[in-house]
Structure 1
Amino acid sequence: MLKPKIHPFIPIIIGVISISLSAIFVKLAQADSGVIAFYRLLFSVLIMSPLFFYKHTQELKDLTKRDWIFSSIAGIFLAFHFILWFESLRYTSVASSTVLVTLQPLFAFIGTYFFFKEKFSVKTILSGVIAIMGSVLISWGDFKVSGSALYGDLLALIACALITAYLLFGQDVRKRVSLITYTMVVYSSSTICLFFYVLIKGESFGPYSSMTWLWFLLLAIIPNLLGHTLFNWAVKWVSTNVISIAVLFEPIGAAILAYFVFAEKLVATQIIGGIIVIVGILLFVVDIRVIKKFFRKILD
């Protein structure tokens, strides 16, 4: 395989920064959570449309009824993941919310255990216990700050479970359908779901300030399309385990950005709990040799 023109870790770092900006843009947008989620996905669909209609429309004819149902359900789960995660950012800190959402791999394993009968290993149990201890420590610290912060933590955990359900429904379809087509169908069904959610809730589709429209657009371009696209490019050159490790830096990037943008300060329980959660997830997704290799490459 030819070497890439740029080192893969450069796009990976840009990708981590891109997804870390998601929580910042959400907090800056002056709109209800459902509205922010709606425009994030609507703009993503509109931006992807030219590429989709140019190269991938033929694939729609090959989708089975099962593919359509599973993709639509995945889109609904994605919609409510965004609603609850965005809402959590109104009550708890960026750091707590993003760290708790990183528990997704553990929720995924629970899902595969019940649906696909995957077995527990000693490493899985150990990493799960460590990560849960970290999340309890974060929530305990937030409860001491305020009851509403604990409520925000709970919303973030439910959002984490919903994104896991989205991935579980999608993994079957992705075995047969290209990334562009699958993403287009899921984002479209999610946008439709969010449209009716906003309508039923009586939330406003507009007007908004020019800056809020900018945050909507940037949410679609940077975290949705740029961040994940860069990860998809990098996976050609590096292991998926490396991407898994890199994504765990999102809470760190988000917390740093929140400090400078919103002057959000971290308390000791958030720092310690966040570190414990990330260590637990690291132990879950990869083995120690891969972690050593990852940091060795960074230092080289």
Structure 2
Amino acid sequence: MTDAAGVQLRSDRWRAVAALGFGACVIGFSGILVRLTGTGPAAGGFWRLAFALPLLALMTRGASGPLGRPSRIALIAGLLFAGDLGFWHYGVKYTSVANATVLSNLAPVVVTAFAWIFLKQRPKAAFLLAVAVAVAGVWLMAAGRSGGAHLVNEPLGDAFSIGTALWYAFYFLAISEGRKTEGASRLMFWSGVVGAPILLVAALLLGELIAPATAAGWAACVALGLVHVAGQGSIAWGMGRLPTATASVVVLVQPVVATWLGWLLFAEALGPMQAIGAAAALIGVVLAQWASRGPPDAQVP
């Protein structure tokens, strides 16, 4: 491989890392917006996808023409994402925004193990150390927290959030697989078409409040749609250019953002342990990028 090609590959890699980091930061706002919608948790997930779909349709048509028909992997991703959103929004309802986001982002452990066992993507020892440091950081952010005035049932919320990590991990793997054959916007559009009605039916069966009662609630629903397009769209785009396990570690930037926002807007406790945890999570992300670098010839554009 020529030097110019190697430079291009490294440039592509860092653009993908930047897209993942940006997407994770944007998604960090979604836990706050879920609270502000005033709807039920599953209903909030429905509005998130419903307001995202028109924009995703326009983006898909602009990038690759007619929407066509959904692929099997897009349908699977939609089912998994509906489970992810439903569990996570209920986690946000019952526990702190930081706890819900931190615990749901334990997905890199599942993703790394799955990619190692089933996809034969054997990680380096340094990469496993990076995952351990990042996950230890997010656990520190969740430990010793009083949660502020918004806790309803912390153990139940934490259980929902841990369940979210499993849904999110397999959604991550599905998106990574789908990105091998189709664009990010098309994959997200069809997964949203599948996920939205599932969440609406779940909200109706659970007797949730479906429509926001205030203009501010509607604004939060619209903002959730925009956050979904910008945040998950950037993540899906970056995932097509990085190994699955590496990408899953980068999005651990999200709980750092969510913890800071929970402290700023909802007075959720943020002490020295949480600050140390945030620093450890970021160090783990950086270490994962360093550990997952290979020689230019070994990297796939």
Verify same fold: TM over 0.5.
Answer: yes
State whether residues 75 and 190 of structure 2, in contact with CA within 8 Å, keep that contact through their aligned partners in structure 1: yes
When structure 1 is superposed on structure 2, of 138-147 and 91-100 the one drifting more is: 138-147
Counterpart secondary structure, 1:286: helix
Is residue 253 of structure 2 the alignment partner of residue 249 of structure 1?
yes
Give the whole-Å Cα distance in 2 for the aligned partners of 1:233 and 1:168. 14
1:37/1:60 CA distance change after superposition, 3 Å: same
1:119/1:52 CA distance change after superposition, 3 Å: closer
Is residue 35 of structure 2 the alignment partner of residue 27 of structure 1?
yes
Aligned match for 2:165, one of 160, 175, 181: 160
Is residue 287 of structure 2 the alignment partner of residue 279 of structure 1?
no
Give the whole-Å Cα distance in 1 for the aligned partners of 2:201 and 2:238. 36
Give the whole-Å Cα distance in 1 for the aligned partners of 2:159 and 2:83. 14
1:54/1:215 CA distance change after superposition, 3 Å: same
Is residue 129 of structure 2 the alignment partner of residue 126 of structure 1?
yes
When structure 1 is superposed on structure 2, of 84-93 and 22-31 the one drifting more is: 84-93
Aligned to 2:184: 179
Aligned match for 2:224, one of 219, 235, 238: 219
Give the whole-Å Cα distance in 2 for the aligned partners of 1:189 and 1:175. 20
State whether residues 60 and 181 of structure 1, in contact with CA within 8 Å, keep that contact through their aligned partners in structure 2: no
Counterpart secondary structure, 2:122: coil
State whether residues 97 and 258 of structure 2, in contact with CA within 8 Å, keep that contact through their aligned partners in structure 1: yes
State whether residues 139 and 150 of structure 1, in contact with CA within 8 Å, keep that contact through their aligned partners in structure 2: no
Give the whole-Å Cα distance in 2 for the aligned partners of 1:169 and 1:235. 11
Aligned to 1:210: 215
Aligned match for 2:89, one of 82, 86, 89: 86
For residues 53-202 of structure 1, the aligned pairs below 5 Å read 53=61, 56=64, 58=66, 60=68, 67-68=71-72, 70-142=73-145, 148-202=153-207
Letter in 1 for 2:158: D
Please report how far the alpha carbon of residue 264 of structure 1 lies from its aligned counterpart in structure 2 after TM superposition.
2.0
Aligned to 1:47: 55
Please report how far the alpha carbon of residue 268 of structure 1 lies from its aligned counterpart in structure 2 after TM superposition.
3.8
Any stretches of 5+ residues in structure 2 without a counterpart?
1-7, 9-14, 294-301
1:95/1:45 CA distance change after superposition, 3 Å: same
Give the whole-Å Cα distance in 1 for the aligned partners of 2:210 and 2:282. 37
Give the whole-Å Cα distance in 1 for the aligned partners of 2:268 and 2:140. 18
> Residues 148-192 of structure 1, C-alpha deviation per residue, up to 9 Å, x if partnerless?
434433322321221110121232322122222211111110112
Which one has a larger percent helix, Structure 1 or Structure 2?
1
Letter in 1 for 2:113: I
1:13/1:47 CA distance change after superposition, 3 Å: same
Letter in 2 for 1:45: L
Aligned residues: 275
1:107/1:24 CA distance change after superposition, 3 Å: same
1:246/1:129 CA distance change after superposition, 3 Å: closer
When structure 1 is superposed on structure 2, of 84-93 and 134-143 the one drifting more is: 134-143
Identity among equivalent positions (%) equals 23
Letter in 2 for 1:286: Q
Letter in 2 for 1:34: A
Counterpart secondary structure, 1:203: coil
> Residues 220-251 of structure 1, C-alpha deviation per residue, up to 9 Å, x if partnerless?
11x21233556788999xx9699888744333
Letter in 1 for 2:33: F
Give the whole-Å Cα distance in 2 for the aligned partners of 1:91 and 1:133. 23
Give the whole-Å Cα distance in 2 for the aligned partners of 1:207 and 1:147. 20
Give the whole-Å Cα distance in 2 for the aligned partners of 1:140 and 1:147. 18
1:261/1:87 CA distance change after superposition, 3 Å: same
Give the whole-Å Cα distance in 1 for the aligned partners of 2:63 and 2:21. 29
